[in-house]
């Protein structure tokens, strides 16, 4: 990594005064820290004693999962609604689907659309697509029919695999396209429930074909040839959330998948066989495909999956599967602290749990402490492993590692050999440790492009004086001296109150210093952009106190206002509008449903705002 350090030194000193540049060069020559993370690379220290095994480099996902599991065909690969599937069955079904895809005209480079939750057939299809060199176009079912059809047409996808529960919404639009073949996949196809669940009726006069017919149609073909690895060959396309404009196709390469899992294997995680992971991140997120499916299966770890985002279902499945690993979104872990969950956990053990991994939203120190206290009180010494990433950067930018405990407010460090992180100001000048700014990353697993969108692609990447390309994540944070990253929030997550710009995440962090508040979300009022609304979920015992004595509610809200006043030091940061909630709903992605929270303020409580010189209370 000396070459990377010299390149970083060249870039940093080019932005400094001659005096500052001299000091940095002097520290560099003495082997001392320079204060700039991309030069010092403090994260490399944590990997220096971990042996490297590059078994997944220069492979495709299909090659990786088959090569490492072909001798373990009787071990279990998947569990789905009570049905266990071995690695032998997994490989066999992948090869069957690959033949059927070829029978339906799919060739190397073609896009095959998948609109489904994580069920076994989706996993077969993903690896079958990899085997024949096609590209998986994985689309969320929560688009409008017009939006979904536009994404299918944009990549000229002729074969669409859609789960039966989603199809009625899109049926009319899709049936108009006679050049498309719709493969209808029953949600419970791999389970005994398929015999009792309501069946979707295939209309033979349309372009719909049942999964059973699709599989049968390819049975006469010779086994599909394995398409070889090629550097940055397209493997999958997922889509941006659309929070900052129209949703964009994010084209990921084979390296986005294989270099990622290879780096995880060299980071200290226990990837030994016969372990289990419970994951419920949808496949239309790169994390779902990369870490929820490809990472464990490639190493021979059994994937237990359930597509439902429900806190109670989540806790029930943790107790049922008894996984060493859990991979899910932040909001699911917060369910461990809910009253109903604590009742369900009563008398039960979590001693099997070793690696609970979360991501998607920042957690506060208090969140982590509360969740880990639940683990400990039920027999597990596991610590919650935080991670940070986005689809454009290949799912993972930083992650906690198992060999070292970083600060609870941090989201870990970059994985070895594939990613560098930095904090830049708006003029692309790197900032020193503990200075907040724009989180940028240079990674070998990032996207190829925003599909057919060169303007957006150009805006996302920044090229430095060395010719290196950096991804602009759109998030604000800082890097600690140990190399760990603290993510504060989205750069776009701000309000303008009386002309003053305030980051909502700063107010949330201040409010969460209160020992009375479990969860908090700060947004502008849906009907008045000059008003802040603090959405509050109380700690369980506080919630009970307020129910028994409603008169104390106003005093507790005024306590929160005083905390914000003392931390933020600006009157515009103080919320005077509050929504009290039992919990925060989850969106279809598993993340907190921000749109619902922001736009539902029927039970708004308004406290006096002295700066408006008037009293408002209801």
pLDDT, tens digit, 9 for 90 and up, residues 132-144: 999 999 999 988 9
CA–CA separation, 108 vs 271, rounded Å? 32
**Alpha-carbon gap, residue 156 to 422, rounded angstroms:** 38
By the 8 A CB rule, do 471 and 419 touch?
no
Distance CA 516, CA 537 (A): 9
HEC per residue, 169-210? HHHHHHHCCCCCEEEEECCCCCCHHHHCCCCCCCCCCCCEEE
Report d(CA 602, CA 608) in Å as an integer.
18
Q: Which is more confident, 246 or 358? A: 358
Q: Check residues 3 and 245 and name the one with the higher pLDDT.
A: 3
* Sequence-ordered list of residues with C-beta below 8 angstroms from that of 28, at least 6 positions apart, any chain: 5, 9, 34, 39
Dihedral angle, C-alpha 58, 125, 181, 452, nearest 10 °: -40
CA distance 164 to 115: 10
pLDDT score of 615: 35
* Band of pLDDT at residue 576, cut at 50, 70 and 90: very high
Q: Note the pLDDT of residue 611.
A: 57
Using only C-alpha atoms, the chain has a radius of gyration, in whole angstroms, of: 25
Of residues 338 and 446, more confidently modeled: 446
**Sequence-ordered list of residues with C-beta below 8 angstroms from that of 519, at least 6 positions apart, any chain:** 334, 367, 536, 537, 583, 584
Taking a C-beta distance cutoff of 8 angstroms, is the pair 142, 588 a contact? yes
Kindly report which listed range (423-437, 539-553, 598-612) carries the lowest average pLDDT score.
Answer: 598-612
Half-sphere exposure of 23 (CA within 13 A, CB side): 7
The predicted structure's pLDDT at residue 590: 57
The predicted pLDDT at position 28 comes to 96
- Is the confidence at residue 377, as pLDDT, over 90? yes
64 Cβ neighbours under 8 A, 6+ residues apart: 55, 56, 258, 261, 294, 298
Cα torsion 351, 356, 362, 365: sign = positive
Query: Around 373, how many Cα atoms within 13 Å sit in the side-chain half-sphere?
Result: 10
pLDDT bin (cut points 50, 70, 90) of residue 589 is: low
**Pairing, β 208-210 against β 494-497:** unpaired
pLDDT grade for 75, boundaries at 50, 70 and 90: very high
pLDDT at 409: 87
Domains of the chain, each with CATH number or no CATH: 493-612 (3.30.300.30)
Can you tell me the distance from the alpha carbon of 416 to that of 558, in angstroms, rounded to the nearest whole number?
47
236 or 332, higher pLDDT: 236
Q: By the 8 A CB rule, do 505 and 478 touch? A: no
Q: Quick one: average pLDDT of 505-510?
A: 95
> Regarding predicted confidence, which is higher, 593 or 465?
465
Ranges 131-135, 429-433, 491-495, 601-605: which has the least confidence: 601-605
- Please tell me the predicted confidence (pLDDT) of residue 17: 96
The CA-to-CA distance between both ends of the chain, in Å, stands at 61
Mean pLDDT of 511-526: 93
Cα 389 to chain centroid distance, Å, stands at 6
**How far is 306 from 368, CA to CA, in rounded Å?**
24
pTM (two decimals):
0.90
With 60 as the cut, is the pLDDT of residue 244 above it?
A: no
pLDDT at 362: 64
- Least confidently predicted of 103-117, 252-266, 447-461, 573-587: 573-587
Asked if the model's pLDDT at residue 111 lies above 60, the reply is: yes
Using CB atoms within 10 A of its CB, is residue 527 exposed (0-12), middle (13-18) or buried (19+)?
Answer: exposed
Q: Helix axis angle, 87-103 relative to 120-132, nearest 10°?
A: 60
3-state secondary structure of 567: helix
Q: What tens digit of pLDDT does each residue of 441-490 get?
A: 999 999 999 999 999 999 999 999 999 999 999 999 999 999 999 999 99
CA distances from 100 to 60, 113, 117, 162, 221 (A): 20, 15, 21, 15, 8
Tell me the C-alpha to C-alpha distance, in Å, between residue 8 and each of 21, 45, 472: 12, 17, 17
**Considering the chain, what is the average pLDDT of its residues?**
92
**Residues above pLDDT 70, as percent of the chain:** 96
pLDDT tens profile 249-277: 999 999 999 999 999 999 999 999 999 99
Place 617 in a pLDDT band, splitting at 50, 70 and 90: very low
Q: Which residues pair with 537 in a beta bridge?
A: 519, 581
Decide if pLDDT at 618 tops 60: no
- Please determine, for residue 35, whether its predicted confidence score (pLDDT) is greater than 90: yes
Beta bridge partners, 163, equal 185
User: Distances in Å between the alpha carbon of 514 and those of 88, 521, 538, 557?
Assistant: 53, 14, 10, 10
pLDDT bracket for residue 1 (50, 70, 90): low
Helix (H) or strand (E) holding 318: helix 311-321
Amino acid 2: pLDDT? 83
Helix (H) or strand (E) holding 319: helix 311-321
Report the pLDDT value the prediction gives residue 610, as an integer from 0 to 100.
62
Please tell me the predicted confidence (pLDDT) of residue 612: 52
The pLDDT, as a whole number, for residue 246 is 63
239/260 Cα distance (integer angstroms): 19
Measure the CA–CA gap between 186 and 163, rounded to whole angstroms.
6
Cα of 236 vs its chain's centroid, Å = 16
Q: Are 475 and 491 in contact (CB under 8 A)?
A: yes
156-191 per-position pLDDT tens digit: 999 999 999 999 999 988 888 889 999 999 999 988
């Amino acid at each position: 990594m000396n070459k990377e350090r010299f390149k970083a030194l060249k870039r940093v000193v080019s932005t400094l005064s001659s005096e500052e540049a001299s000091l940095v060069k002097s520290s560099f020559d003495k082997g001392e820290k320079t204060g700039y993370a991309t030069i010092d690379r403090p994260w490399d220290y944590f990997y220096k004693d971990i042996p490297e095994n590059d078994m997944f480099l220069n492979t495709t996902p299909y090659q990786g999962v088959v090569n490492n599991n072909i001798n373990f065909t009787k071990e279990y690969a998947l569990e789905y609604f009570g049905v266990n599937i071995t690695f032998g069955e997994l490989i066999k079904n992948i090869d069957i689907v690959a033949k059927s895809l070829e029978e339906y005209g799919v060739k190397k480079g073609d896009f095959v659309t998948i609109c489904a939750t994580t069920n076994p057939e989706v996993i077969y299809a993903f690896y079958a697509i990899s085997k024949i060199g096609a590209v998986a176009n994985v689309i969320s079912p929560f688009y409008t029919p017009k939006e979904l059809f536009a994404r299918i047409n944009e990549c000229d996808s002729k074969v669409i695999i859609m789960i039966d529960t989603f199809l009625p919404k899109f049926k009319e639009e899709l049936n108009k396209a006679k050049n498309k073949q719709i493969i209808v996949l029953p949600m419970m196809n791999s389970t005994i429930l398929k015999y009792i669940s309501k069946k979707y009726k295939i209309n033979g006069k349309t372009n719909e074909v049942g999964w059973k017919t699709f599989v049968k149609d390819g049975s006469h073909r010779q086994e599909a040839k394995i398409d070889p690895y090629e550097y940055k060959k397209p493997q999958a396309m997922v889509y941006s959330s659309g929070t900052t404009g129209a949703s964009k196709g994010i084209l990921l390469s084979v390296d986005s998948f294989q270099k990622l899992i290879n780096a995880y294997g060299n980071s200290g995680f226990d990837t030994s066989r016969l372990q289990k992971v419970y994951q419920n991140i949808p496949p239309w997120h790169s994390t779902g495909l990369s870490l929820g499916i490809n990472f464990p299966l490639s190493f021979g770890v059994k994937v237990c999956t359930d597509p439902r985002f429900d806190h109670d279902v989540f806790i029930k499945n943790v107790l049922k599967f008894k996984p060493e690993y859990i991979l899910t979104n932040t909001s699911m872990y917060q369910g461990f602290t809910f009253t109903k969950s604590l009742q369900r956990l009563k008398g039960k053990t979590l001693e099997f749990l070793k690696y609970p991994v979360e991501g998607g939203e920042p957690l506060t120190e208090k969140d982590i402490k509360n969740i880990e206290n639940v683990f400990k009180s039920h027999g597990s010494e596991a610590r919650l492993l935080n991670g940070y990433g986005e689809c454009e950067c290949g799912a993972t930018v930083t992650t906690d590692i198992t060999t070292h405990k970083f600060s609870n407010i941090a989201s870990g460090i970059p994985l070895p050999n594939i990613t560098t992180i930095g904090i830049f100001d708006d003029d692309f000048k790197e900032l020193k440790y503990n200075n907040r700014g724009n989180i940028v990353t240079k990674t070998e697993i990032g996207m190829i492009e925003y599909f057919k969108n060169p303007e957006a692609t150009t805006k996302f990447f920044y090229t430095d004086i060395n010719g290196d390309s950096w991804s602009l994540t759109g998030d604000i944070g800082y890097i600690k001296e140990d190399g760990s990253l603290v993510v504060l929030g989205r750069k776009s997550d701000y309000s303008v109150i009386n002309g003053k710009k305030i980051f909502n995440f700063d107010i949330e962090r201040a409010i969460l210093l209160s020992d009375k508040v479990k969860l908090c979300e700060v947004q502008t009022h849906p009907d008045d952009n000059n008003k802040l609304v603090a959405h509050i979920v109380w700690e369980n015992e506080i919630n009970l106190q307020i129910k028994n004595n409603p008169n104390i509610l106003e005093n507790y809200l005024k306590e929160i206002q005083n905390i914000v006043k003392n931390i933020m030091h600006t009157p515009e940061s103080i919320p005077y509008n509050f929504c009290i909630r039992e919990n925060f709903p989850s969106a279809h992605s598993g993340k907190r449903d921000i749109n619902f929270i922001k736009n539902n303020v029927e039970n708004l409580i308004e406290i006096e705002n002295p700066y408006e010189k008037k009293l408002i209370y209801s």
